[in-house]
Amino acid sequence: MSFLSPEALMFLVTLPIVVVFYLLKRRRISRLVSSTIIWERFLNETQANSPFQKLRHNWLLIIQLILLALAIFALVRPYFSSKSESGRFVVVILDVSASMKATDVSLNRFDEAKDEISKMIDGMYDNDQMVLILSGGVTKVQQSPTSVKSVLRKALNQSKATDSSTRLLDSIKLAQNLSRNRPKVEVHLFSDGVSSDLDEFELQDLNLVYHSLGKGGDNLGIVSLEVRPHSEHSNQQSVFASIMNFSTNVMSSDVALFFNDQMVGNRSLTVGPRNTASLVFSVNQSTNGVFRMHLKKDDILQVDNIGSVMGLKQRNTKVLLITKGNVFLEKAIRSIADIDLIVKSSFTNPTPKVDVVVLDSVKPRVWPSVNVMAINTQSTNWFEPIGLLESPPIVDWKSTHKILRFVNFDNVQVAQSLNAELPNWMTPIVESQAAPLIAAGKKNDKLAIWVGFNPLDSTWPLRVSFPLFIANAIDWLNPKLIENLQVGEVFSVPMAEEISLVKVTLPDGEKVTMSTMPNGELIFADTFQQGVYHANSGTNEIKFCVNLLDSAESDVQTRDVLKLGQYGRVEATMKVDSDKELWRWFAILCLLLIMFEWWFYHRRTA
């Protein structure tokens, strides 16, 4: 037998105090009481000559001492363990994803899971060890192996649910690695089972216990939200949204759209069971700002009822083409939407205020200071040419590269190409047997594409892949700032080189100070809250939005069975191994003694 609250044993000092009260003598006044059997000796005592008297055998004293002792034993919470042996290594995985905020149970699923884990901590042996792992968008070891219950409770209390999607795979793999070659291992997963990556894991011999949380699934959520320029009006933006009903009942809601906290649209929406509805708002926009959509629906999950996206006034990409004359290339660039093209025959210093410079068979005296696509030329700072290749065949190209998206080089013949050995910062994306033909890379924060041959000396301009390549290349050389992310994605943006510290304000108001990279780039990964983030440095401010927008996470119906790999299955259980406490039995004995005294009195007086 062990005790959960041994500090309550200090109440044992009250036992001699009760005995002292029976030793004391004082004058007594006769009173009428219901039971006199155990009080007869005291009713007959009238002497008070001395402060103390001789302790005599008395059933009332014995009953009171027994009752007090039982009450103290109830307070120290004695228990017998539910397991026959100790020394367990317990790994607890706590799901902290957005779906755990569902309120279909008391408070929410996350708080219910914390209560169950707290019971497990109370039931630990002294030589048991527990590890607490938090599983959300990323996996985090909240508490390393320890037997100290106070440390485990503190780590559990500091755990918070995030707005991220569920990713249980990494946490289960981590639990498997931690438990390898250990005896008496138990892995307890507290989750609602809303995870789409478990089919990549084979259960094998992992002793996994799945504690299922939640019982409902009625939810209406925003699963996509984006802003696009209006197709007809240049001063307007179109806001597109998809709203999905994840329940088996028809659900309705009002949908409000705000721009910089001012309502600019409101709709009533009805969505059928397991169906999706689309909405389009057209809004006049003269300044940059944030569009925020809000579903006014009191369902069990509120995280997916709000979405925010940046609305920026559109600006055309400025491209400078330096060429002696290439109609195919010029037409390919002009065919790209939102392009302002400047064509010149020579390049002068300083570099004009453009986003991209395209050099076509021209070697300038001063190399451009912006992102460059160099066709049939090279910079001596990049590499030195080592001759020419005659009729090099195209044998391979990286179709997965963004520049070669939808680009095919079948039936493309090249008459002549520069032969070069690329620097280590450039990656070949189109190759012949002898040398690379097209390469791309980044040097000193500048993007560069090199085409080693003149397209006019090939059949490429006659293929559909040529304008596609040019469009992809311009888009790659002029990357758009990503202001809209999903929860957990990394935000990166180049800052001014002289800026070293940036203060980022999270959606809940917390401020985090970040240091930029040596090249001046800000990389911020703590995006586990949904909402608008503000990155400030001096008078400069950058806003970016983070959203859930995950249909799998919004489908909050609890999974009773987890499918792991092709054949693995783990059924949910609500059983939590804990120690069997005995305080209730001591309390019952106290009550029985009081009832016995009452019965004994009435039996003697009947």
pLDDT for residue 47: 47
Which H or E run contains 325?
none
Residue 576 pLDDT exceeds 50: no
The share of the chain scoring above pLDDT 90, in percent, equals: 45
pTM over 0.75, yes/no? no
Between 530 and 600, name the one with better pLDDT.
530
Mean pLDDT, the chain, integer: 84
The SS3 of residue 399 is: coil
CA distance 193 to 370: 49
CA distance 418 to 512: 50
Residue 30 pLDDT exceeds 70: no
Lowest pLDDT segment from 258-272, 427-441, 493-507: 493-507
Between 15 and 214, name the one with better pLDDT.
214
Residue 36 banded pLDDT, cuts 50, 70, 90: low
- Rounded to a whole number of angstroms, the distance between the first and last alpha carbons of the chain is 43
Q: Classify domain 484-547 at the CATH topology level.
A: Immunoglobulin-like (2.60.40)
Residue 574 banded pLDDT, cuts 50, 70, 90: low
What average pLDDT does this structure show over 203-228?
A: 87
Query: Per residue, what are the HEC states of 236-305?
Result: EEEEEEEEEECCCCCEEEEEEEEECCEEEEEEEEEECCCCEEEEEEEEECCCCEEEEEEEECCCCCCHHH
Residue 242 pLDDT exceeds 60: yes
Residue 174 banded pLDDT, cuts 50, 70, 90: very high
Between 272 and 33, name the one with better pLDDT.
272
Residue 152 pLDDT exceeds 80: yes
Residue 189 banded pLDDT, cuts 50, 70, 90: very high
Q: Classify domain 89-216+557-578 at the CATH topology level.
A: Rossmann fold (3.40.50)
Q: State how far the alpha carbon of 206 is from the alpha carbons of 180, 181, 258, in Å.
A: 9, 11, 49
Sheet with 78-80: list strands edge to edge: 2-3, 78-80, 580-581
Q: Which backbone phi and psi does 383 adopt, to 5 degrees?
A: -165, 165
pLDDT for residue 41: 60
Which residues of the chain form CATH 2.60.40.10?
220-314, 484-547
Q: Which CATH superfamily is domain 220-314 in?
A: Immunoglobulins (2.60.40.10)
The neighbour count for residue 61, using CB atoms within 10 Å, is 16
CA distance 241 to 222: 7
Query: In b/e form, how buried is each residue of 347-383, taking b as 16+ CB within 10 angstroms?
Result: beeebeebbbbbbbbbebeebbebbbbbbbbbbeebb
For residues 383 and 412, the answer to whether their CB atoms sit within 8 Å is no
pLDDT for residue 115: 94
What average pLDDT does this structure show over 324-337?
A: 91
Q: Which candidate, 313, 309, 314, places its Cα nearest to that of 292?
A: 309
Q: Which CATH number fits domain 317-469: 3.40.1390.10, 3.40.50.1820, 3.40.50.880, 1.10.10.10?
A: 3.40.50.880
Place of tokens 């055998």: 57
Residue 45 pLDDT exceeds 70: no
The neighbour count for residue 49, using CB atoms within 10 Å, is 6
Per the document, the length of the chain is 606
Which residues of the chain form CATH 3.40.50.410?
89-216+557-578
Lowest pLDDT segment from 368-377, 390-399, 445-454, 579-588: 579-588
Residue 110 pLDDT exceeds 90: yes
pLDDT for residue 153: 95
pLDDT in tens, 425-478: 899 999 998 889 999 998 877 899 999 999 999 999 999 999 999 999 998 998
pLDDT in tens, 79-101: 665 554 568 899 999 999 999 99
The neighbour count for residue 389, using CB atoms within 10 Å, is 20
Sheet with 356-360: list strands edge to edge: 339-344, 317-323, 356-360, 371-375, 446-451, 436-443, 426-432, 394-397
pLDDT for residue 459: 94
pLDDT for residue 85: 52
The SS3 of residue 89 is: strand
DSSP symbol at 572: B
Residue 196 pLDDT exceeds 80: no
pLDDT in tens, 49-85: 455 566 666 777 777 777 778 777 777 767 665 554 5
What average pLDDT does this structure show over 339-367?
A: 85
pLDDT for residue 518: 78
CA distance 534 to 532: 7
What would the two tokens of residue 349 be? 């210093």
Bridge partners (DSSP) of residue 187 are: 91, 208
CA distance 359 to 362: 6
The share of the chain scoring above pLDDT 70, in percent, equals: 85
pLDDT for residue 215: 84
Q: Note the maximum CA span of the chain.
A: 131
Residue 262 pLDDT exceeds 50: yes
Q: Which candidate, 259, 120, 131, places its Cα nearest to that of 185?
A: 131
What average pLDDT does this structure show over 153-162?
A: 95
pLDDT for residue 179: 86
CA distance 134 to 96: 6
CA distance 226 to 211: 37
Which residues of the chain form CATH 3.40.50.880?
317-469
